[in-house]
Amino acid sequence: MKKTLLLVALILLAVSCDQDTNLSITSDISSYRFDAEGGSFDAIIFTNGSWTASCEDESVKFTPDAGYCTTPMHIEVGANEAYYTKSVRITLTTVYDSYSRTGKIVLTQDCRPFIFCEESRLAVTAAGGKVRFQVNANESWKVVETRCDGAAAELSVDPLAHGPNLTEVTVTIPANPTGSPRTFSVKLALEAHPETTVVLTVGQEA
């Protein structure tokens, strides 16, 4: 009798150890890249038990967020409003008794095209002079328009074009002979996305 009980105990222990050894969780898609607009895709979760999914980024939505054994999952990501590429992780967890295993799906999302200036309006005296703007962009840009009080005007702008990074842009304003205040503007646009622009403004005294 004792030998029989011992044999049963050994069998149960072996099954328990085997369950722990075989416990796993994976996905048919381990990583996915989105453009700045976001989007969705479907993945399949493979495991031999119950599972849950979690993600710290609130823009990532997935259904279902839990299941049992092999289960399809639909994943959606909203638009990236940040000025940098995002990388987030969906963590998959399966648990059996006191044992657990984790897996992951890594999501990378490009940032939107951007060009901006922290301080886009500066001032100069009637005598004119140079003003300097700090322009930041993640793509190459160029000057597309220079104006004075709404009318086209010739201005010295350096540089007239530049690659993606933080760049100092110098605008030279001539002396003001009009006797009235006036406003100059310089429009910059991304070369690959010309609809993405920034306008640098210089107010000049009379």
With a cut of 70, list the residues of the chain below it in pLDDT. 1-21
pLDDT at 96 (0 to 100): 86
Per-residue pLDDT tens digits for 41-86: 999 999 988 999 999 999 999 999 999 999 999 999 999 988 899 9
Map residue 4 onto helix, strand or coil: helix
pLDDT at 98 (0 to 100): 84
pLDDT at 55 (0 to 100): 96
pLDDT at 21 (0 to 100): 54
Q: Quote the CA–CA distance of 166 and 144 in Å, as a whole number.
A: 19
Task: Evaluate whether 107 touches 32 at the Cβ level (below 8 Å).
Answer: yes
H runs (alpha helix) in the chain: 2-22
**Closest residue by Cα to residue 134 from 173, 161, 166:** 166
Do β-strands 71-77 and 151-152 pair in parallel, antiparallel, or remain unpaired? Answer: unpaired
pLDDT at 10 (0 to 100): 32
pLDDT at 22 (0 to 100): 81
CB atoms within 10 A of CB 170: 12
**Closest residue by Cα to residue 25 from 78, 97, 85, 103:** 103
* Gyration radius of the chain over CA positions: 30
